[in-house]
Chain A
Amino acid sequence: MRFSGMENLGGMGFSEEQNDLLDMATRFCREKSPMDKVRALLEDELGHVPAVWQEMGEMGWLAIAIAQEYGGVGLSLAEVVPVVEQMGRTLLATPFVSTTLAAQAIIKGGTEQQKADILPRVAAGEAATVALMEECGDWELAKMQASATRSAGKLKFSGTKLLVCDAAAAERIIVSVSLDGKPALVIVEKDDLPKDALRREVVIDETKRSYALTLDGISVPSDRLLDPAKSVVALAHLQLAANLLIAAEMCGGAKSVVDYTVEYLNTRKQFGKLIGSYQAVKHPTVAAYVEYEKSRSHLYSAAHCFNDPGCSDQGRLEVATRMAAVQTERALSYAADRSIQFHGGFGFTYECDAQIFRRRAIFNAALFGDENYQKQKLAEMLLGVMGDMGSE
């Protein structure tokens, strides 16, 4: 693939459905997740309010990107983006992203039977998640140590998966393992898990719930294996889908923390003046806002690529998604970093909300690839692979 000019890169579009969902999600998230609720949930073991999660299921938000034949609405991830953006803006905690990714794994990699069994359950609001990360910390999803072996019609696992978000709430987990020396995805049901299989991890983002999953000793019927012929494609898709949704969360968060800073700059006085009138504070705040606006453009361009029927152009989709991931991380990290600084002594306290957003950026960047990783991938796509430059 060769990107020879700007016209090859992603464009922009905004569907009526995206518009409606943005509108609905903005109101819903604002109502359900004011900051005192977010704070209260930080110490909650489950980490989200089951009634809110149930309501999201009833509104059909989990069904958005699932085909109608499987009980879904028949739209795409493009329409999921505004929902996640607003969840990120209000730090609304739910297993929404995890469940959406699990559904995407089934959609892209599942057998017909698995789709028919599982997708309607997800569409109706059953939580699920994906277990893709391991101890080595590499974001390359097709590389894994955890494995499965076949024995007497069953798949027997060994190894450990890390950073399995929302696992305790999930009815099922889509786990990546190596099988016959190749990557494979397998469905593990809640009932398959021994009592101590999940260990809650201490993660930097206290609004999130994440678990280590010990696979040793677990075995499942072999019909839980997703279509082996599709596993590589499904993993590649999951990497992009995850980055898209995480970018959406960060974009919303960036807006929120800019607003939070601006509010303080408009109330706090020093030397007899509102501190927002000082350019040393004002200009970086504007810079953070500009980064946010750029991130939103990249985000909705990437979303549009997922919606585009011509999204057969995987290269364009991948470039747009990784750019969105880079730019949203940049915007949220910078905006939150400056927010801590501009709140002065208060900014250094646990009470100041800026830390929550800064932690969110660190956590989200760690999940499916940080800025530097994405940029390295972008360089390969846009500039060519290193050492291979001579071949025009």
Chain B
Amino acid sequence: MSVWTQAELDEFAAGADVWFRGNTPKPPGFLLPLTFMEVGTDQQFEFLREWQRKVYEAGYLGAAWPREYGGGGLPEEFQRAATEAMRKYDGPILLNAIGLNWTGPLIINIGTPAQKQKYLQGILNAEDIWCQGFSEPEHGSDLGNAQLRAVRDGKAYILNGSKTWTTLGKYAKYMILLARTDLDAPNKYAGLSFILTPMNVTGVETHNIRKLTGEYGFTQTFFTDARVPVDGLVGEEGQGWKVAMQTLEYERRARPGQAGGYVMKEIDAFEVLKLARKAERDGKLVLDDPVIRDRLVDYMMEAQSLKLNGLRGRIPALNLDHPKGLALMTKLQFSEFAREVSQFALSLQGSRSAYYVGDPNAIDNGFWTRAYLNAFSATIGGGTSEIQHNIIGEHVLGLPKTR
């Protein structure tokens, strides 16, 4: 549907509103992940997988993806309306983030017809969970130096090496893998290839890594003579760096095409305000403390600017100088904001900030402490905030590369 009317959109939005009002699940009685990077138990995994499947089957996920591959074939505005309804009723996060937000759009953009046929629907209905194999134990921010080896053998690559910080690694059926296919390439980037890799083959092993919160959610992934099909190649052999950079642009939302919904709960500055309204110090409400008030205003402004940046990003005439500027700063801004606000929330809890998840005296069952510790997943993952500064400096402002 390329031509649509406001009435059609309104009707769709009203339907989504009704659906999410009726189908958003109640808190299940166990802790739900705040982000897709925190899925640590089978119980959480099954619950979220079921939720994503239901949202998809109702038509509110992938609404703007091509119809022939399981999407809704609708304009982006429709998916946006569905996502707004999901947010309004505070539904759980969607699980299959790496599939929905970066692998899917990438395959739609530059995948082969066979790849589209094979992978897209499974991404949407959460049948096929995806993980990402970029970082290695010795190569994190210096991603272009990745060393995992892929050697061509007929119609297969033989993989040896290891990837780490593999979110959802334990549950994933596929990995987007950055591998070194050529040791003699003229530079480190030219030797890389981007391969859609099955995880359930001999020689692939995942080891759980425990996070600073005490939970699980990511793995180190070891490859020992693992044979994977060559037809998983995205782009040509040796073009892996370019494909990986495009993938990161999807991840950082600098490129559109994501399936919709959200994969992380946003920190709402007004939730902190609720906490502040209850907090006391020296027998007085902390909301009477000018320093606390000042900080709260800062956070509300920051939350508001995040919202407004998103809205302004859709008005090209207000982005002429740096068309990609707002998009490339989003990840930096929201991840640092989440870290700072949740940290600040601890200071509102007085002596009870000593408690953690599970103690009856922990405020909001330790939500804020856990959110603060988990916030580092976004300030480090997907390129650290420091790397984001380099990216914005180099790709938006045109500053010379840092080497």
Instruction: Report A's interface with B, CB cutoff 8 A.
Output: 3-6, 9-12, 14, 19, 22, 255, 258, 262, 265-266, 273-274, 276-279, 282-283, 285-287, 289-290, 293-294, 296-298, 300-301, 323, 326-327, 375, 378-379, 382-384, 386-387, 389-390, 392
Contacts and interface: CB of A to CB of B under 8 A. Distances in A.
B395 to A, nearest CB: 11
B317 interface: yes
Contacts of B403: 277
Given A283-B386, A290-B333, A389-B277, A382 B296 contact: yes
B304 A379 contact: no
Interface stretch (B14-22, B104-112, B252-260, B283-291): B283-291
B299 to A, nearest CB: 10
A289 B390 contact: no
B393 A286 contact: yes
B301 interface: yes
Contacts of A9: 300, 304, 307
A71 B392 CA distance: 46
9 contacts: A10-B304, A266-B400, A286-B392, A296-B312, A297-B312, A298-B304, A298-B308, A300-B312, A327-B301
Contact of B308 (A279, A297, A383): A297
Interface string B290-303: 10011011101111
Nearest to A276: B399
* Interface class of chain B by DSSP: helix
Given A12-B312, A277-B401, A382 B318 contact: no
Contacts of A12: 308, 311-312, 315
A289 B392 contact: yes
Contacts of A5: 268, 270
Nearest to A387: B288
A101 B149 CA distance: 68
B392 A383 contact: no
A277 B401 CA distance: 5
A389 to B, nearest CB: 4
Given A301-B308, A323-B301, A379-B297, A22 B393 contact: no
A300 B318 contact: yes
B354 interface: no
B305 interface: yes
Contacts of B392: 286, 289-290
Contacts of B318: 14, 296, 300
Given A274-B400, A282-B390, A283-B386, A323 B311 contact: no
Given A12-B308, A293-B329, A285 B294 contact: no
Contacts of B302: 294
B323 to A, nearest CB: 12
Given A12-B308, A277-B399, A378 B333 contact: no
Interface of B: 268-270, 273, 276-277, 285, 287-288, 290, 293-294, 296-298, 300-305, 307-309, 311-312, 315, 317-318, 321-322, 325-326, 329, 332-333, 386, 389-390, 392-393, 396-403
A286 B397 contact: yes
* Interface class of chain A by DSSP: helix
Contact of B397 (A285, A297, A383): A285
B398 A375 contact: no
Nearest to B321: A255
Given A279-B389, A283-B389, A379 B294 contact: yes
For A262, A290, A298, which residue has the most chain B Cβ atoms within 10 angstroms?
A290
Contacts of B396: 289
Nearest to B313: A297
Contacts of A384: 287
Nearest to B273: A383
Contacts of A296: 312, 318
B397 A262 contact: yes
A379 B293 contact: yes
A293 B325 contact: yes
A110 B63 CA distance: 54
A14 B314 CA distance: 10
A327 B302 CA distance: 9
Contacts of B312: 12, 296-297, 300
B193 to A, nearest CB: 29
A200 to B, nearest CB: 36
For A266, A296, A326, which residue has the most chain B Cβ atoms within 10 angstroms?
A296
Nearest to A297: B308
A386 B293 contact: yes
B315 A389 contact: no
Contacts of A266: 398-400
Nearest to B309: A297
A286 B325 CA distance: 11
B9 to A, nearest CB: 17
A285 B393 contact: yes
Nearest to B293: A379
Contacts of A382: 273, 296-297, 300
Contacts of A283: 386, 389-390, 393
B298 to A, nearest CB: 8
B147 to A, nearest CB: 25
A286 B389 contact: yes
A375 B393 contact: no
B55 to A, nearest CB: 22
A287 B332 CA distance: 10
Contacts of A286: 389, 392-393, 397
A262 B269 CA distance: 33
Contact of B390 (A279, A326, A375): A279
B297 A378 contact: yes
A353 B294 CA distance: 32
A277 B399 CA distance: 7
Given A4-B270, A290-B333, A386-B288, 20 more contacts: A3-B270, A6-B268, A12-B312, A266-B400, A276-B399, A277-B399, A277-B400, A277-B403, A278-B402, A279-B389, A279-B390, A283-B390, A289-B325, A294-B305, A297-B305, A297-B312, A298-B305, A323-B305, A382-B296, A386-B287
Nearest to A375: B297
Given A289-B325, A379-B296, A276 B393 contact: yes
A285 B399 contact: yes
Contacts of A285: 393, 397, 399
A327 B397 CA distance: 20
Given A12-B312, A255-B321, A276-B399, A282 B389 contact: yes
Nearest to B317: A19
Contacts of B390: 279, 282-283
A302 to B, nearest CB: 10
For A265, A282, A293, which residue has the most chain B Cβ atoms within 10 angstroms?
A293
A383 B397 CA distance: 37
Contacts of A297: 305, 308-309, 311-312, 326
Contact of A6 (B296, B304, B393): B304
B398 A323 contact: no
For B276, B302, B317, B397, which residue has the most chain A Cβ atoms within 10 angstroms?
B397
